[in-house]
């Protein structure tokens, strides 16, 4: 069995041979991952088979919560859930978002989403409205910022697997944003100067506490757009425009 424990870095630097006490250890049987971080707390995901649960870990106080949000996924034929962690800024309540993309039973050529929300305050999972659009990459956990979780999606596209070369115009890209307070979705267009489909998938990230959209341009430049005020598309600015060169492609 493996485990995770709080341990001060300063003590380790002074004495690399320090022994870790088992008092603050938390064991797991199979896999563990970091769902996200918010206000100094790390949300850890534990999974054994199709059983999931979480713990909140505070590295500053070296404390870890009891097991939270325990649930069993009964649908073994569907894909695995993806998770994100954030805070409802209206109440200060921490929440976990779980989603996955399933094949539509009525139309096997298309896909649908299943979205669940867990609130730390009531320790309860509940279903919420599914995505209005399917995320570009169904393995994308989303990006948390200011009480929202955000995904890059494609408008008028209902498939989670697609040849990227079939995306022919930039207007297909949309940012889907889930507000953890209202538990509703909003959609934002990408910067108007993003006028050519990148040769590889563009991405969303957080940079300097702002939502950022980055993409490759013509295979020679890396471009980052930064939304200075969240939700206000007019405030998106061109942040960096870095040129690069491909020296050679060596087969192996």
- pLDDT tens, position by position, 9-64: 666 667 766 665 555 555 544 578 899 999 999 999 998 888 889 999 999 998 99
- What are the residue boundaries of the structural domains of the chain, listed by start? 1-72
pLDDT number for residue 41? 94
pLDDT number for residue 189? 80
Whether 121 has a pLDDT exceeding 80, the answer reads yes
* Closest alpha carbon to 139 in 215, 80, 201: 80
Adjacent-strand bridge partners of 175: 152, 188
Adjacent-strand bridge partners of 197: none
* Closest alpha carbon to 73 in 48, 45, 91, 55: 48
Of the pLDDT bands very low, low, confident and very high (cuts 50, 70, 90), residue 174 is: confident
195-207 mean pLDDT: 72
Q: What whole-number distance in Å separates Cα of residue 203 and Cα of residue 216? A: 10
pLDDT number for residue 148? 95
* Residue 170 DSSP one-character state: G
Q: What whole-number distance in Å separates Cα of residue 185 and Cα of residue 207? A: 22
94-123 mean pLDDT: 82
pLDDT number for residue 161? 52
- This prediction has a pTM of 0.75
Of the pLDDT bands very low, low, confident and very high (cuts 50, 70, 90), residue 2 is: very low
Beta strand spans in 60-128 (E): 63-64, 68-72, 82-88, 93-103, 111-119, 124-128
Query: Which segment of 125-129, 130-134, 191-195 scores lowest on mean pLDDT?
Result: 191-195
Whether 242 has a pLDDT exceeding 80, the answer reads no
Q: What whole-number distance in Å separates Cα of residue 142 and Cα of residue 98? A: 10
Q: What whole-number distance in Å separates Cα of residue 124 and Cα of residue 120? A: 8
pLDDT number for residue 116? 93
pLDDT number for residue 122? 87
pLDDT number for residue 222? 75
Residues of the chain by 3-state class (helix, strand, coil), percent to 5: 5, 50, 45
pLDDT number for residue 229? 72
Whether 150 has a pLDDT exceeding 80, the answer reads yes
């Amino acid at each position: 069995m493996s485990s995770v424990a709080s341990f001060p870095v300063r003590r380790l630097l002074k004495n690399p041979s320090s022994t870790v006490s088992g008092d603050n250890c938390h064991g797991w049987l199979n896999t563990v991952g970091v769902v996200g971080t918010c206000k100094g707390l790390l949300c850890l995901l534990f999974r054994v088979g199709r059983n999931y649960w979480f713990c909140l870990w505070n590295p500053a106080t070296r404390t870890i919560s009891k097991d939270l949000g325990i649930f069993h996924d009964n649908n073994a034929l569907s894909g695995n859930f993806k998770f994100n962690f954030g805070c409802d800024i209206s109440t200060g309540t921490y929440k976990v978002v779980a989603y996955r993309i399933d094949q539509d039973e009525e139309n096997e050529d298309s896909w649908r989403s299943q979205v669940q929300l867990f609130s730390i305050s009531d320790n309860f999972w509940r279903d919420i409205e599914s995505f209005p659009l399917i995320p570009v990459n169904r393995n994308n956990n989303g990006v948390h910022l200011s009480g929202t979780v955000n995904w890059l999606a494609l408008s008028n596209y209902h498939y989670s697997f697609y040849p990227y070369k079939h995306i022919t115009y930039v207007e297909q890209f949309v940012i889907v944003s889930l507000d953890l307070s209202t538990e509703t979705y909003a959609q934002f267009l990408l910067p108007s100067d993003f006028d050519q489909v990148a040769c590889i998938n563009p991405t969303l990230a957080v940079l300097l506490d702002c939502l950022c959209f980055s993409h490759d341009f013509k295979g020679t430049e890396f471009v980052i757009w930064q939304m200075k005020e969240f939700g206000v598309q007019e405030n998106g600015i061109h942040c960096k425009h870095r040129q690069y060169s491909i020296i050679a492609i060596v087969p192996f």
